[in-house]
Structure 1
């Protein structure tokens, strides 16, 4: 053993410490925060599919379902999103009162404090359902139930703080906001310039130990209406009043907005939506030390608190918004493609529209699947930081694709604002979801693989800890054991990847039989390829890999699509393997495999060591890259399902708010869709009569029906049904228009004619 350390482990230990710089305190806390879950299985090259299936499906309790069926439905009927966004630019007071009274701000607060204590899945489902009706209302509900004072208090607050604040937050008498982001610190929360200094000052007539704060924050949701401000800042103790450290680190405190010196500034106007968002500032504001969340013992521990809460909250709210876009786009676009006609045909008969519908349906299926699997992890008391980062990034990006496709199909219908437009506000909301809780560029390029490589790898984080051990001998001893385990692991990946490549993964076991079995085998194959590439990249590039974001992000993409595909397959199994869902599975997982191979190819094409790149390509793809984009027949099968009532369309879009049949928007569209499907046999009679020359091929519908009556092609009842369906169809495809003066600026706001 001593010879091994002298000639192998010792030199490797020294090299390892040079190529991998020591972790900073914030990096270490980010790495250690949360837990490793299914992402660890995928990263290590041999996923245990039985473990995935054993997690079980996401389900709602009777109480949670009742809340959706009653309180949520009542709320949806109260919302007029056109007026909320375009006229009032805020939720009406009646809606605010209802949200508070029914505990919409207390979904995650324990029942002992007056909250609902709902599951992460229920929280996500409620937000998604509201978002199909109003993004502004959904954001208003989601923020108090995500990263904010409520969650931080529940996890870290003292009993006194919990008793003080949680009942008011549950009743809605206290409205929270959390101020993290500032002009110079967005995704780099560790770089916040806002400061607090430990000092003594007078509070309520007594001299107490406290903090003098200075801050300038922006983009703070609910700030304009908040009564309690959660604040993140860097804490300093220059006079060593708490101990021997002068720089304590990021700290979180709770401050009533009525406290002297707290300034709630102007509102922002995010993408023209109506949820409250604004600024807050404070200069030389003194607070008692007890206002630190968790009390004085948590001074300087705020970064860990924030990272842990973000790692959970990131998997609920924003993925819920992305899923809502999918539900809305799939339901509305399928119906619209059927009722909208061009050249005498439903536009859904054109293959270009079918391609878009296939993408909308396939991605919506994956959005719902991923939402369920991610919240399942949270409800199992996991806090998987990498999984939630994957969910936030990819689900908001998939929503962007889906809503773009929906608008492409709707064309002019989708861009004319008004009560009949059910897509525009979701389109405006997607950039908000993409930007907040870690901008997507940062999430993809730094978090998913940057943290995942060390967090999910079976040995790297322990090796980093060994290298950072101040006791050189103890560090070497630990490193020696880990190194040879790592070598065995790496050699197994080399052999395994080549075997997988030669056999094309066909000999891998699958937990199921049938059409989806091959997907499990191919995902296992690509999991092994990821393990090999990650090991080689970290070994050869060391700390430089973190700075080579384009390379590391591609490996993150591989991990992400492995997770998304896993979620999709599990969703299909949880649903009982219904035949009408198979095209959606084929489309979504086929797309994942294609993008995995594409990401690996991009990684290998740009890997700086060309010899190693060629070697890796030979090991992983000895017979070439065989994965293809989703097949046209799968896209067409998906589009056909979305243009049919009931079945998978109804199940997949069940969260979508439809409203009354006479209501502008989806209500009118659904009425027309059902009516047009009901008369399709009559339309075929007309078409057949036109084809055989009994009826003319051109002319208005009224003239055609009149001649069909005369020729005995249709009965009077048939004609009335067709006329009614067409009337509803025309109402559904109509767009809003307004008198010129209704949209004109007030005269005093107009520029002078000169």
Structure 2
């Protein structure tokens, strides 16, 4: 019995849905990471993402106007998004960011799409989700890639101009992440349509969690097709299929709502029982019956790589900006709280990870922008950027403390804090994404020979043994080379290569190469020892996925620092860069060590340690000096920091504006504040019970002049407003009569 035949008996076959997922999309940077040789040349050759003139004009025009219109606190307390906001979104083509100009759409780049969604999300999660969904996985994207000419010509202009609002229904009560298990069925039959008997499908469905379903006018629907009577002349079970059904079509039920964490975007159910639809409703027509899952997986990049990571980046920048400003302005025990190391530790973590979020957002959209659909990279972005967003938000809540937990128009964190679990959950729940998708798909897609080998193992061709033996020989050679490379880099780490010319980048690039070489070896031994059981060893495979993810993050950090930043900003950005890159490398190494410690075979574990010379952690860590340096840099009003928080657009009178005004006033008054403190230390005057009284005493003692007193009093008024929280009467009606911010007399 040949090796192939023996393997065929023990290795499970790949399911249809798994195979379609593997066949869809592209392999990008993650392939080189998995294979142990991260491609920094490819990283450098990616065109740098920039907004076009039209894209920038859209941000400066319609997006800016939208932000002024939106009262997010009012939306959270209402039952509906205001009609004027929805009308504005339709008439200004917010639902057509990805639709080609030929059909009346805006045809913006993935980078612009991400930037627009993230900018809106910083103001209102509900409005951002409303914009996000039509520009993500749904009817528009599916029609563009798979629709017939007639379908595109009819639907895309109507979607672009806001005449139709789309939704897409995949999730069923009995099948969430397991799309292959959806119970919704379309049976091939004849029925009446527009007065004629035509061939079509009788569809029954029950869907939930469908965003925009309550207000949608056209329903994208995923279901399984069965042909028990053989009317199509083929198999009975034909697979997942996608159709586009008008809301007005007889039998379609739309309108009921869920309540997603009180965020108040439209999300609800759709049902139908024995609803007859003609074949022309199938996206792409009858020939696309059974191609639905492949179509969906190929289009997942928009949701996983653009929209949800954009929400993570948005909440991170909002957390960073507000926390840095609050830490600088808020004083306790006579000092800004940003001077206390406990606050600095949290603030530095927020700052470094916000830099990492923006780096990953930019790199991922750059990959999508050159036409790639890297399913593993977009899964990495979705999982890690939403998780980092949650982590950053928690730290921001700790810093802002009482101010952060009191809801109201002035609170910049509460809405995002409540909404963040939604981003964690949708488009593949994060537990699923980490434990099954990142490495589960990555191992098959990124290994140069594995998929071909599995196909050869399960092949029934007469020359299958010969094909398998050829692939097997290549695989052995590949694995031997991986082990030799890892052993060399482990024993002689100074032989690691780097392409960068920046001295501060070179050590990190070498570290990425060294860790990736170990990953390749551990992945090889996992396949050799565990084989098909690796799929069930979720904790082990998830750790290998973590290594891929954190090395991708480190590469994103390096690229952003080297190629996205103007040279004159690198000094300001250096602490952010060092923190983000070190953190990523340490997390990658931590995952490798945890993988080794938990590998089930003791002998293999020892061999892997020997081959990679891995016995302890070696990556440079984030130390206290770097934390202090970054925390101090984060509280300065630098050009780099302003660029890093570019998604936050303060609107006069809102929470971001109130915080920013107080912060900028303090930055302007730093020399004067130092003069006041010097006068207090030299006992030229006494401190008052309130800072305004202290300033009056300083003026009377002639420590400061009248003009300086006015500037300081103006700062003090803004400071008091910034540390204040919203107030309500006994019946929880917002008290809006607040003192105007004006220069003190």
The 8 Å contact of residues 411 and 655 in structure 2, kept in 1 or not, is answered as yes
Task: Report the CA distance between 1:672 and its aligned residue.
Answer: 0.7
Task: Report the CA distance between 1:290 and its aligned residue.
Answer: 1.3
Distance 2:81 2:184 in 1: 31
Instruction: Say if 2:650 is the partner of 1:658.
Output: yes
Pick one of 249, 272, 277 that aligns with 1:282. Answer: 272
Using the TM superposition, name which of 462-471 and 319-328 deviates more.
462-471
Equivalent position of 2:390 in the other structure: 400
SS in 1 for 2:229: coil
Instruction: Say if 2:112 is the partner of 1:112.
Output: no
Task: Report the CA distance between 1:226 and its aligned residue.
Answer: 0.4
Task: Report the CA distance between 1:68 and its aligned residue.
Answer: 0.9
Task: Report the CA distance between 1:474 and its aligned residue.
Answer: 2.5
SS in 1 for 2:648: coil
Distance 1:723 1:211 in 2: 73
1:296-325 CA deviation, whole Å, 9 max, x = no partner? 000111010111111343101000100101
Instruction: Say if 2:68 is the partner of 1:68.
Output: no
Equivalent position of 2:632 in the other structure: 640
Using the TM superposition, name which of 15-24 and 722-731 deviates more.
15-24
Instruction: Say if 2:149 is the partner of 1:159.
Output: yes
The 8 Å contact of residues 422 and 666 in structure 1, kept in 2 or not, is answered as yes
**Structure 1's 56 and 633: CA in aligned 2 closer, same or farther, altered over 3 A?**
farther
Instruction: Say if 2:472 is the partner of 1:491.
Output: no
Using the TM superposition, name which of 200-209 and 534-543 deviates more.
200-209
Distance 2:574 2:406 in 1: 36
SS in 1 for 2:732: helix
Equivalent position of 2:399 in the other structure: 409
The 8 Å contact of residues 348 and 628 in structure 2, kept in 1 or not, is answered as yes
Equivalent position of 2:502 in the other structure: 513
Instruction: Say if 2:620 is the partner of 1:620.
Output: no
Equivalent position of 1:6 in the other structure: none
Pick one of 452, 469, 472 that aligns with 1:480. Answer: 469
Instruction: Say if 2:86 is the partner of 1:81.
Output: no
Task: Report the CA distance between 1:137 and its aligned residue.
Answer: 0.7
Task: Report the CA distance between 1:48 and its aligned residue.
Answer: 2.4
Instruction: Say if 2:21 is the partner of 1:41.
Output: no
Distance 2:543 2:338 in 1: 35
Pick one of 231, 236, 241 that aligns with 2:231. Answer: 241
SS in 2 for 1:213: strand
Instruction: Say if 2:378 is the partner of 1:388.
Output: yes
SS in 1 for 2:188: strand
Trace 1:235-384 onto structure 2 (pairs within 5 A).
235-384=225-374
Task: Report the CA distance between 1:685 and its aligned residue.
Answer: 1.5
Task: Report the CA distance between 1:154 and its aligned residue.
Answer: 0.4
Pick one of 616, 623, 628 that aligns with 1:631. Answer: 623
1:257-315 CA deviation, whole Å, 9 max, x = no partner? 11111111421110111210011110111111111111000011101011111134310
The 8 Å contact of residues 506 and 518 in structure 1, kept in 2 or not, is answered as no
Instruction: Say if 2:159 is the partner of 1:169.
Output: yes
**Structure 1's 623 and 513: CA in aligned 2 closer, same or farther, altered over 3 A?**
farther
The 8 Å contact of residues 496 and 514 in structure 2, kept in 1 or not, is answered as no
The 8 Å contact of residues 328 and 663 in structure 2, kept in 1 or not, is answered as yes
Task: Report the CA distance between 1:182 and its aligned residue.
Answer: 1.3
Using the TM superposition, name which of 508-517 and 538-547 deviates more.
508-517
Distance 1:265 1:622 in 2: 58
Equivalent position of 2:195 in the other structure: 205
Distance 1:623 1:29 in 2: 40
1:555-579 CA deviation, whole Å, 9 max, x = no partner? 0000000111111100111124512
SS in 2 for 1:625: coil
Pick one of 718, 724, 730 that aligns with 1:728. Answer: 718
Equivalent position of 2:588 in the other structure: 596
1:406-450 CA deviation, whole Å, 9 max, x = no partner? 111111111111111111111111101000000000000000000
Task: Report the CA distance between 1:644 and its aligned residue.
Answer: 1.5
Pick one of 668, 686, 693 that aligns with 2:676. Answer: 686
**Structure 1's 154 and 396: CA in aligned 2 closer, same or farther, altered over 3 A?**
same
The 8 Å contact of residues 691 and 697 in structure 1, kept in 2 or not, is answered as no
The 8 Å contact of residues 420 and 735 in structure 1, kept in 2 or not, is answered as yes
**Structure 1's 579 and 634: CA in aligned 2 closer, same or farther, altered over 3 A?**
same
State the TM-score, normalizing by the size of structure 1.
0.95
Task: Report the CA distance between 1:509 and its aligned residue.
Answer: 3.0
The 8 Å contact of residues 268 and 278 in structure 1, kept in 2 or not, is answered as yes
Pick one of 541, 547, 552 that aligns with 2:536. Answer: 547
Distance 2:298 2:102 in 1: 24
1:174-221 CA deviation, whole Å, 9 max, x = no partner? 000000011111111111111110011122221111111111111100
SS in 2 for 1:208: strand
Gaps of 5+ in 2: 735-745
SS in 1 for 2:318: helix
Equivalent position of 1:752 in the other structure: none
SS in 1 for 2:651: coil
Distance 2:424 2:692 in 1: 48
Trace 1:573-588 onto structure 2 (pairs within 5 A).
573-574=562-563, 575-577=565-567, 578-588=570-580
Q: Which runs of 4+ in 1 moved over 4 A?
A: none
Pick one of 555, 559, 564 that aligns with 1:570. Answer: 559
Distance 1:621 1:334 in 2: 42
The 8 Å contact of residues 393 and 434 in structure 1, kept in 2 or not, is answered as yes
The 8 Å contact of residues 205 and 272 in structure 2, kept in 1 or not, is answered as yes
Distance 2:455 2:408 in 1: 58
**Structure 1's 89 and 363: CA in aligned 2 closer, same or farther, altered over 3 A?**
farther
Pick one of 461, 464, 467 that aligns with 2:457. Answer: 467
Distance 1:509 1:310 in 2: 34
Task: Report the CA distance between 1:628 and its aligned residue.
Answer: 4.6
The 8 Å contact of residues 120 and 379 in structure 1, kept in 2 or not, is answered as yes
**Structure 1's 646 and 576: CA in aligned 2 closer, same or farther, altered over 3 A?**
closer
The 8 Å contact of residues 587 and 631 in structure 1, kept in 2 or not, is answered as no
The 8 Å contact of residues 29 and 39 in structure 2, kept in 1 or not, is answered as no
Trace 1:103-142 onto structure 2 (pairs within 5 A).
103-142=93-132
**Structure 1's 229 and 494: CA in aligned 2 closer, same or farther, altered over 3 A?**
same
**Structure 1's 718 and 228: CA in aligned 2 closer, same or farther, altered over 3 A?**
same
Distance 1:665 1:169 in 2: 34
The 8 Å contact of residues 641 and 648 in structure 1, kept in 2 or not, is answered as no
SS in 2 for 1:35: coil
Equivalent position of 1:56 in the other structure: 47
**Structure 1's 727 and 743: CA in aligned 2 closer, same or farther, altered over 3 A?**
closer
Equivalent position of 1:426 in the other structure: 416
1:122-160 CA deviation, whole Å, 9 max, x = no partner? 111110111111111110001000000000000000011
Distance 2:225 2:315 in 1: 41
Distance 1:122 1:475 in 2: 48
The 8 Å contact of residues 312 and 385 in structure 1, kept in 2 or not, is answered as no
Equivalent position of 1:12 in the other structure: 3
1:489-512 CA deviation, whole Å, 9 max, x = no partner? 111111111111112355323333
**Structure 1's 269 and 623: CA in aligned 2 closer, same or farther, altered over 3 A?**
closer
Task: Report the CA distance between 1:344 and its aligned residue.
Answer: 1.5
Distance 2:302 2:116 in 1: 17
Distance 2:509 2:148 in 1: 47
Equivalent position of 1:750 in the other structure: none
SS in 1 for 2:610: helix
Please provide the CA RMSD for this pair. 1.4
Distance 1:92 1:703 in 2: 45
The 8 Å contact of residues 2 and 465 in structure 2, kept in 1 or not, is answered as no
